[in-house]
Amino acid sequence: MARPKNDENGKVSESGFRIRRRVLPSGAAVFLVDLGLVNGKRRRQQFATITAARNHCRLLAVDAERVGLAAFALSDHDREDAVQALRMLAGTGASLSVVAAAYCAKHGPPKASKTFQALCDDFLDWMQTTSRKLDAKTPGPYRPASIVGIAGQLRRTYCDLGDTPAIAITADELRRWLDAQGFSPVTWDNHRRAVGMVFSWATRKDGPLDRGTNPVSGMRPPPMARRNPAIYTPEVTERVLRYVESHRPDLAPSFAIAFFAGIRPEELRRITPDELDFDSGEIRIPAEVSKTHQERLVTMSDNLLAWLVRHPPEAGKPLGATAPAVMHFRKGMREALGVDTPKDIARHCFATYYCALHGMDATAEQLGHESTAMLHRHYKGLARNRASAAARYFAIGPKPAEEATLLHLVSATA
């Protein structure tokens, strides 16, 4: 077979269609056939090999002469729908365009169509100004971290689909795009959910799109392997906390609260020691701080009280250290102790061991979960047969004052 030709711009082309090689994040190479502008938007089709792309270009050239490129803008579902409609109109002398014009005359034209990128921009603006989460049971604005995460997922999507009219985004097209990115199942589903949020917002009663135009409806995510969260043994937890005491005793309060109360890092960074009630043995998480926007009281275990008495947090300052400070410290700790530091490891440890001692309901209340569903899914198996380990875990206390001072001096001179 002849090698593909280069056009006047030096690009690979076949039968008048340009072919572009693209390397996916996974490292695999794919070949994109540029179909040009179809109904005002640029269309591309992806293939695993250059041979498949060239063969498809040849077929397109033949079909283009017969029906024109506009036909390729239709999904398989739309083509089948058009065929069925033409069958119903057979013998009436009416065309699909005549019927469509009559429908619009009776019911009014469809809402103005924006490009997908413009729709995403409007949605992100709404996220930053709304006073209530979309389809959420609890009031409150989206957090900046959530907005940044969703914006990144949408930006990745509209880099390829941004010029497409929003009403023209179909489930088939979105699925093809997602499958072509080489995403892991979790990342695949995160991008699907982000697009779904945009269309759920846009198709509300006062939204910019008509209802029933959400391409995510009915899309099922790929099978995902569910793994139990990583946890430390009580012995490893004690090694970590001893390292904190000897190298950064100022971080001891936040680490102790994270391990023995399971409070989220973002919540810890937004409360001060004023929320610690040593008389009742509770930590108050205000509604405006809580991830679920519901106030809760977290019970302090006896060993956590001992940690906070031995290492009192500084008044007026957040109980949680900043994310960069924690990341820098954990890097040194990983090298010194040879332990991994998975995300939310302290909260996972607390959930597992507290559940082993107190059960699902009490643990869900401590963690701020509205139900025990997540605990059943992720922690029930972990907590089983760990009662003795849990007892050792919640017996980990701080070093006596004299010993802790000696450890700090040794660390400072090392």
User: In what order do the strands lie in the sheet containing 17-23?
Assistant: 5-6, 12-14, 17-23, 29-38, 41-47
What dihedral do alpha carbons 263, 269, 273, 276 form, nearest 10°? -20
Say if residue 362 is in the same domain as residue 272. yes
Residue in the block written with tokens 């009403």: 167
Say if residue 59 is in the same domain as residue 93. yes
The number of domains in the chain is 3
Say if residue 366 is in the same domain as residue 238. yes
Residues with Cβ < 8 Å from 49, sequence gap 6 or more?
31
Task: State yes or no: pLDDT of 92 exceeds 70.
Answer: yes
pLDDT at residue 407, as a whole number: 46
In the chain, pLDDT over 90 holds for what percent of residues? 29
Give the separation between CA 262 and CA 320, rounded to whole angstroms. Answer: 12
What 3-state DSSP class applies to 300?
Answer: coil
Task: State yes or no: pLDDT of 238 exceeds 80.
Answer: yes
Mean pLDDT of the region 210-218: 75
Task: State yes or no: pLDDT of 221 exceeds 80.
Answer: no
Phi, psi (rounded to 5 degrees) for 261 = -130, -15
The tokens describing 289, both together, are: 């701080």
Say if residue 186 is in the same domain as residue 314. no
The tokens describing 35, both together, are: 């179909």
- Domain stop point among 143, 178, 202: 202
Task: State yes or no: pLDDT of 410 exceeds 50.
Answer: no
Give the separation between CA 272 and CA 315, rounded to whole angstroms. Answer: 7
Mean pLDDT of the region 391-405: 79
pLDDT at residue 125, as a whole number: 85
Say if residue 271 is in the same domain as residue 377. yes
Average pLDDT, the chain: 80
Residues 188, 192, 195, 201, CA torsion sign? negative
pLDDT at residue 15, as a whole number: 75
Q: Which of 52-56, 104-108, 206-210, 377-381 has the lowest mean pLDDT?
A: 104-108
Give the separation between CA 386 and CA 372, rounded to whole angstroms. Answer: 19
Mean pLDDT of the region 133-137: 48
**Would you place residue 391 in the very low, low, confident or very high pLDDT band (cuts 50, 70, 90)?**
very high
Say if residue 95 is in the same domain as residue 122. no
Residue 401 sits in a domain whose CATH number is: 1.10.443.10
| Residue at 133 is within a domain | yes
Give the separation between CA 339 and CA 331, rounded to whole angstroms. Answer: 10
pLDDT at residue 329, as a whole number: 92
User: In what order do the strands lie in the sheet containing 296-299?
Assistant: 276-277, 282-285, 296-299
In the chain, pLDDT over 70 holds for what percent of residues? 79
Mean pLDDT of the region 285-291: 88
Give the separation between CA 116 and CA 162, rounded to whole angstroms. Answer: 5
CB atoms within 10 A of CB 369: 17
Task: State yes or no: pLDDT of 374 exceeds 70.
Answer: yes
Alpha carbon separation from 50 to 18, 24, 44, 64 (Å, rounded):
12, 15, 14, 20
Task: State yes or no: pLDDT of 38 exceeds 70.
Answer: no
Say if residue 70 is in the same domain as residue 122. no
- CA-wise closest residue to 56 among 66, 45, 70, 67: 45
pLDDT at residue 406, as a whole number: 47
- Look at 228 and 53; give whichever has higher pLDDT: 53
Q: Which of 115-124, 166-175, 251-260, 375-384 has the lowest mean pLDDT?
A: 375-384
Q: Which of 101-110, 227-236, 288-297 has the lowest mean pLDDT?
A: 101-110
**Would you place residue 404 in the very low, low, confident or very high pLDDT band (cuts 50, 70, 90)?**
very low
Long-range contacts of 122-130 (CB under 8 A, 24+ apart): 122/202, 122/208, 123/154, 123/197, 123/198, 123/201, 123/202, 124/150, 124/151, 124/154, 126/201
- Look at 324 and 100; give whichever has higher pLDDT: 324
pLDDT at residue 69, as a whole number: 45
Mean pLDDT of the region 380-404: 80
Give the separation between CA 180 and CA 151, rounded to whole angstroms. Answer: 20
Q: What region does 68 belong to: left with phi over 0, alpha with psi -120 to 50, or beta?
A: left
Residues 108-120 pLDDT 10s: 555 556 788 888 8
Say if residue 327 is in the same domain as residue 408. yes
Q: Which of 66-70, 97-101, 274-278, 329-333 has the lowest mean pLDDT?
A: 66-70
Residue 162 sits in a domain whose CATH number is: 1.10.150
* Maximal CA-CA distance, the chain: 98
| Residue at 389 is within a domain | yes
pLDDT at residue 235, as a whole number: 95
Task: State yes or no: pLDDT of 177 exceeds 80.
Answer: yes
- Look at 252 and 20; give whichever has higher pLDDT: 252
Helix or strand (DSSP H, E) at 6: strand 5-6
Q: Containing domain of residue 160, as a range?
A: 116-202
Residues with Cβ < 8 Å from 287, sequence gap 6 or more?
140, 293, 294, 295
DSSP state of 251: G
Helix or strand (DSSP H, E) at 353: helix 345-358
Strands 17-23 and 41-47: unpaired
Give the separation between CA 66 and CA 120, rounded to whole angstroms. Answer: 36
Mean pLDDT of the region 351-356: 91
Say if residue 130 is in the same domain as residue 156. yes
Residues 326, 332, 336, 339, CA torsion sign? positive
Mean pLDDT of the region 91-115: 68
Residues 253, 255, 261, 262, CA torsion sign? positive
| Residue at 120 is within a domain | yes
For the entire predicted model, the pTM comes to 0.57
Say if residue 168 is in the same domain as residue 273. no
